[in-house]
Each structure stands twice: as structure tokens, then as C-alpha cells.
Amino acid sequence: MKKLLTLIFVFGIAGWGQQLPSADQNKIIVPQPPPLRVTSSGPQVRVDGNKKAPAAPKPSNVYRMEEGFVDAHGALIYYKIIGRGAPLMIVHGGPGASHDYLLPHLLPLARTNKLIFIDERGSGRSQKLEDASKYTVENMVEDVEDVRQALGLGKISLMGHSYGGVLAQAYALKYQKNLTVLISAPPRS
């Protein structure tokens, strides 16, 4: 009975016109929403005839931010995305720093580029690893590639600042086919 009550709470009473089975039946059928009929002109209409509210258009002056983690061979790598346009992945200096110091300087590029900031393994919001042998240029290059693949970015422009420039150059040597532009920014002197 508890399982049945949970289903009623989650899916609503009898959900979308289907009846939930009684407690004495052997199997439980989870109600599904009716499929949408998508047309190229006009609103989406449910099969039952009820109209789905059209999505509000995105204002052109709003830049949404997405952040998360990608599991890159056992290290959780933090990323932050802001902007629209061609993807530009940014690798910070350090090691041990975070992307935060670059954000205010590169933010204007979000008007024409999808900026993808990552924190290298052991840095910023990314996972700190106890095994120091896991902190290699090769592993960090693979982290960049894993983030690119996980986010479905295709070809990217890659910018590395200071130590991030070393990683960007090492990435370019191994994954040249995935790059449109390589930018290596030296530290300030």
C-alpha cells in the first residue's frame, strides 16, 4: 500500500486519465504523459487536445550560466559555461589556482563565444587527489579532452593562461584535430 501511495503522490491521482492498479494486483504500471505532436508551424499540442504553453523567448541580453562536474578518469573536474557562440575553453594558471581570476577579464567574450572555464584537477572546485602521481600534464590534458567530449563541444578554441598554457600546448600536440584555435597567454611579468 505504501508503494501505491508513493506513486499517487509522485504522479498525481490517476495521472493523465490512466487508472492506477489496486494494491492487490501483482504489477504496478507507472502512468506516462501523452506524447507531444510537434509541428513546424504553431504550438505543440498534446494528443489529448490540450495545448502546451509555448516557451518564452530568451532575451538576447541574458546570459545563463551552467556549472557542474565531469568525471575524468577518477577526478571530478569542475566546469562553468557562460555565453553563446563558438566554444572557447579556458584553462587557468597554477597549478592550485582556479578559474575565478580570469572570469572578470574574459566575461565580455561571452557575447560572441560560449566560454567554458575549467578548474584543473586538484585546483579550485575540482577534486583534490591524495595520490600525487595523478597530477601530470598527460592526465590534465586528458581531463580537458574528457570535459570537451562530455559536454559535446565538437571543435573548440582553447586558451591557456600561464601553466594552463602548458596544458593547452600539450593538448594541441595530442588533439590537434579537435582545435580551431590555440591561445597561450603568458603570465604577467
| Beta pairing, strands 45-46 & 36-37 | antiparallel
Residue that has been written with the C-alpha cell 579556458 in this structure? 90
How confident is the model at residue 52, as a pLDDT? 61
Q: Is the pLDDT of residue 16 over 50?
A: no
Q: Is the pLDDT of residue 164 over 50?
A: yes
Task: Return the minimum-mean-pLDDT range out of 18-27, 48-57, 101-110, 118-127.
Answer: 18-27
Tell me the pLDDT tens digit for each residue of 128-155. Answer: 999 999 999 999 999 999 999 999 999 9
All domains in the chain, ordered by first residue: 1-51 (no CATH), 65-185 (3.40.50.1820)
Tell me the pLDDT tens digit for each residue of 55-86. Answer: 666 678 899 999 999 999 999 999 999 999 99
Task: Return the minimum-mean-pLDDT range out of 30-44, 56-70, 86-100, 124-138.
Answer: 30-44
